């Protein structure tokens, strides 16, 4: 993850991220109201907490107006996009999940596990990163990846053409100490290249 954090720090100096600076006063106001320190680029955490409360039928706290909530939502969206702003960041953030999908398709195709379906769940942040990487709108999204066998007996993943640019490369794999073995990576890449 050190490489990701280095890239992220470099991105924080970019014009895209500098636009967060105009929200510094708002971040201080939210920190004062909540008693928690929220740097501008981390206000998404406050938004996620409020969104969770709203999803349980609770109302916004008295200290948070509808306008403030909308501003938090905008900032949360920007923060989310930043995590997959560059191809390298996308590989690091979303690549391992895609690789796991491909590994399971390969195992299933070879009859190594006897499973007919894989179901995955994740936190909103994980799913949002995957959706951002694929330009899919977040929240309320169901992701379905279908394994097919063509008339030529080749295995196809209906969504495979979307993943080539986000599969982890060697540099991305080095960010994770428990990353998959090279033989697995080669297997997964061969699926995506068929």
In DSSP terms, 155 is beta-bridged to: 149
What is the pLDDT at residue 172? Answer: 67
Average pLDDT (3-25) is 78
State the CB neighbour count (10 A cutoff) for residue 1. Answer: 10
Q: Where are the domains of the chain?
A: 2-82, 93-193
The residue among 50 and 184 whose pLDDT is bigger is 50
On the question of pLDDT at 80 being above 80, the answer is no
What is the pLDDT at residue 60? Answer: 93
What is the pLDDT at residue 191? Answer: 45
Angle at 160 between CA 85 and CA 83, to 5 degrees: 15
Average pLDDT (8-19) is 76
- Residue 33: which pLDDT band, with cuts at 50, 70 and 90? very high
The residues, ordered by sequence, that sit 6+ positions from 143 with a Cβ below 8 Å of its Cβ are 127, 130, 131, 136
- Residue 65: which pLDDT band, with cuts at 50, 70 and 90? very high
């Amino acid at each position: 993850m050190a490489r990701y954090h280095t890239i992220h720090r470099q991105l924080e100096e970019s014009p895209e991220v500098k636009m967060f600076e105009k929200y510094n006063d708002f971040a201080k106001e939210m920190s004062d109201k909540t008693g928690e320190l929220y740097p501008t680029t981390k206000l998404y955490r406050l938004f996620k907490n409020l969104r969770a409360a709203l999803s349980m039928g609770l109302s916004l706290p008295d200290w948070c107006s509808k306008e403030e909530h909308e501003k938090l939502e905008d900032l949360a969206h920007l923060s989310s996009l930043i995590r997959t702003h560059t191809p390298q960041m996308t590989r690091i953030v979303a690549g391992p999940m895609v690789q796991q999908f491909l590994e399971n398709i390969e195992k299933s195709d070879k009859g190594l596990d006897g499973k007919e379906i894989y179901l995955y769940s994740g936190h909103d942040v994980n799913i949002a990163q995957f959706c951002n990487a694929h330009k899919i709108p977040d929240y309320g999204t169901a992701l379905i990846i279908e394994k097919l066998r063509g008339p030529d007996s080749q295995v196809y993943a209906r969504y495979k053409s979307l993943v080539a640019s986000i599969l982890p490369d060697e540099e991305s794999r080095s960010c994770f100490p428990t990353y998959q073995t090279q033989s697995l990576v080669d297997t997964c890449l061969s699926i995506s290249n068929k």
